Amino acid sequence: MMKKFSIGLTLTALMILFLCHPVFGQEMQPADEAKAVNVSLFDPVQIFNSDTSIKGYRLNLLYGANQNMTGLDIGLVNRAKGDMIGGQILGANIVCNDFKGFQASALNMNGGSSAGLQIGGANIVGDDLKGCQISALNSVGGSGVGFQAGAANIGSNDFQGFQLGAINFTRGSVAGTQLAAANIVGDDFQGCQFSAINVVCDSGAGLQIGAYNWAKSFRGMQIAAINQTTEFSGLAIGAINITEALDGIQIGVLNFNWGGKPLNFLPVLNFSF
């Protein structure tokens, strides 16, 4: 079986070299003119070299690289040195600049922005995301707008939309809904958080439901075993509610309002307006 596979690869390589050689083909056209089809065993053993753009179809048996790719890209490793518009499937998809379309592989990695759908073992976007990511790991280097579902959703900037995962971690602000074992927002938050642990490092507004809710300041409703804030405005329901400045109602076994207006501590029900 392996012998037949080796013979097949050898014949494929010879065929590609045959097609590439100027003696056997038409006169080579400028590299910057897009071609309709490309077949690659591995770069540089491919019909058109990596400086050529493809608009149409590309098959990469092991590894293929071209400048810009528009259309359908299938192979073990698919690489575009520039932009990609269309669909990429199978082993690994690598786009050095911007991507628009659909990617499905073990690894989808885009150096620029991404717009569309990514499904794989790991989805990595170097710049902004607009669309949907589904994988074990979703990572966005810029801002994100859309939907993320994965074991870990990690954002270096702001995110708007819906996040579903074991952990959702965003360094910037979040507007939308987060559902996970742990939700961590490095800046402001607006929306709903459902998790064992919900953390908002700056101001939050909306709803938090979990075992432990923490926010520097929060406006809305908190429901958890422990709700803790520096400033709170709204309704907090939990076994233990803790804040330094209360403008609302606390309902729980132990309610602490360290601002002391009207009381620092009151069981069952505490309030300050």
pLDDT digits (tens, 9 = 90+) for 146-178: 999 999 999 999 999 999 999 999 999 999 999
| Residue 271 located in a structural domain | no
Q: Please count the structural domains in the chain.
A: 1
| Residue 6 located in a structural domain | no
| Residue 36 located in a structural domain | yes
| Residue 76 located in a structural domain | yes
Are the CB atoms for 189 and 173 separated by under 8 Å? yes
| Residue 103 located in a structural domain | no
For the chain, counts of helices (H) and of strands (E): 1, 16
Residue 60's nearest CA partner among 81, 31, 88, 85 is 88
Write down the pLDDT at residue 260.
Answer: 77
Are the CB atoms for 248 and 263 separated by under 8 Å? no
Given a cut of 90, is residue 7 above it in pLDDT?
A: no
* Distant-in-sequence, close-in-space partners of 176: CB < 8 Å, separation ≥ 6: 159, 160, 161, 162, 163, 190, 191, 192
| Residue 65 located in a structural domain | yes
The b/e string for 136-148 (b: 16+ C-beta within 10 A; e otherwise) is ebbbbbbbbbbbb
The fraction of the chain above a pLDDT of 70, given in percent, is: 88
Write down the pLDDT at residue 252.
Answer: 98
| Residue 38 located in a structural domain | yes
* Distant-in-sequence, close-in-space partners of 171: CB < 8 Å, separation ≥ 6: 155, 156, 157, 186, 187
Write down the pLDDT at residue 195.
Answer: 98
What is the span of the domain harbouring residue 81?
Answer: 29-95
Band of the pLDDT at 32, cuts 50, 70, 90? low
